[in-house]
Amino acid sequence: MRFAALLLLTAALSFAQPRYPLDWARLEPELLDRFTELLRIDTSNPPGNETRAAKAIEAVLAREGIASKLFAMDPARANLVARIKGNGSKRPLLIMGHTDVVGAPRERWTVDPFAAIRKNGVIYARGTVDDKEHAVAGMMILILLKRMKVPLDRDVIFLAEAGEESDTPFGINFMVKDHWPEIEAEYALAEGGAMVEVNGKVHHLLLGTTEKMANNIRLVARGSAGHGSRPTLDNAVVHLAQAVARAGTWSTPIRLNETTRAYFEGLAAVSPRDEAARYRAVLDPQHAAEADRYFRAHDPTTYSLLRNSIAPTILKGGFRENVIPSEAEATLNVRLLPGENLADFMADLRRVIDDPAVQVIPPSTVGRPPAPPSRMDTEMFRALEQVGRRMFGASALPNMLTGSTDMAQLRAKGVQAYGVGPVVKPEEGPLGLAHADDEHISVESLKSFFEYVWNSVIEVAAHR
């Protein structure tokens, strides 16, 4: 008993103080230099051109004496892998960040999206929060582990991947299929989490443990073509409009899973009374409908967390003002909860639309694979919780992303993968300013994110 108590005390004390503390103020210029260098490389996808970013990272690592490898299905779209070796007593930890970014129409930005403009302690650039901060964090952690000669129980692997925004065959799919031994790991850290700030302080952390599955379902309505002056009952545009309205206003059933149940329980424990009551109501079948109506009107992220969601995104039909077209088409962006069956969902959708003139067509390609949630009882999850409590005095909550990440492919291979991320405002949701015009991150948020990831890596990888 005394020995067990001593072990528990030792473990508690090890989390009470950071191991291998760093002078982050002194490191700030280097961190910002590496970050802005990567931000200034235009890797808009399409076309990507991620090899430019991979080679820039390769050069930085080489100057530190760290070898890296490039893997490319397309020479212009390389992935980079680097590794700091441990003693092998534990399986590796993978840190992953993607180097491609979505496009940034210059006319919608107040600054050049690839100039990495810094003003008033804030850096403006495409990729500041999606996802070059993770790429730089992975690169810098390897550099710091080597500089400080940290003895490791497990290898720490860094993957700077291509194609996350839309072209997974070039990135994670290619690495998993053709180069799995290079990135195989017990744990992974990537995008898909956040530090939620309330009144200027980190209020709670969101740790991504699972995510919804994206599917683009097509609706095609067909009818008779004709002159616009002679309205017909089988007008394809009318049938399509009615089908889109039925699908878009369909409130699918509430379905909780292990992650979302734990999330709402944890969020209720740290929220003001009125908000906490709504989160608890979601867990109670007798009161869930009332809370759900509130979320539908005021909180689309929470509304989506509770169900399979449908968002009409594209409409096509007609070619002249005075011609009734014979065909019209819509795209529904559907996000299914983990474990849901697409065929069953489509059968329900056909019943809701209830129109033989409208064909419901399944996705033409398979997106990210279905995967089990990452567990909440692992050494990695506990470390992320404890470091968050130590650094911010904040609770960590498991989170299901309504969007998609390349952790799905890792989870499908058995990796326990967790989403972490920088500070966001509550109204921004866990994805923060990803894909937004004038995307930006504060210098303080960037530093706290790097410190959080560093401390978490040390807790699970450094030898005790």
Token duo for residue 2: 């005394």
Over 90: is that where the pLDDT of 150 sits? yes
Among all chains, which residue has been given the structure tokens 């009144």?
A: 199
Residues 176-226: tens digit of each pLDDT: 999 999 999 999 999 999 999 999 999 999 999 999 999 999 999 999 999
Of how many residues is the chain composed?
Answer: 464
Distance between CA atoms of 84 and 142, rounded to whole angstroms?
6
What is the layout of strands, in order, in the sheet containing 122-124?
A: 117-119, 122-124, 440-442
pTM of the model: 0.92
H-helix or E-strand containing 45?
A: none
Who contacts 366 (Cβ-Cβ below 8 Å, separation ≥6)? none
Sign of the C-alpha dihedral, residues 420, 192, 441, 113? positive
Residues 86-140: tens digit of each pLDDT: 999 999 999 999 999 999 999 999 999 999 999 999 999 999 999 999 999 999 9
Q: How many CB atoms lie within 10 A of CB 243?
A: 27
Distance between CA atoms of 374 and 414, rounded to whole angstroms?
9
- Residue % of the chain over a pLDDT of 70: 97
Distance between CA atoms of 61 and 67, rounded to whole angstroms?
7
Over 80: is that where the pLDDT of 14 sits? no
Distance between CA atoms of 239 and 356, rounded to whole angstroms?
10
In this prediction, residue 166 carries a pLDDT of 84
Over 90: is that where the pLDDT of 16 sits? no
Selection from 387, 368, 367, 391 nearest residue 379 by Cα: 387
DSSP letters, 313-377, are EEEEE-SSTTEE-SEEEEEEEEEEPTT--HHHHHHHHHHHH--TTEEEE--SS--SPP-PPPPSS
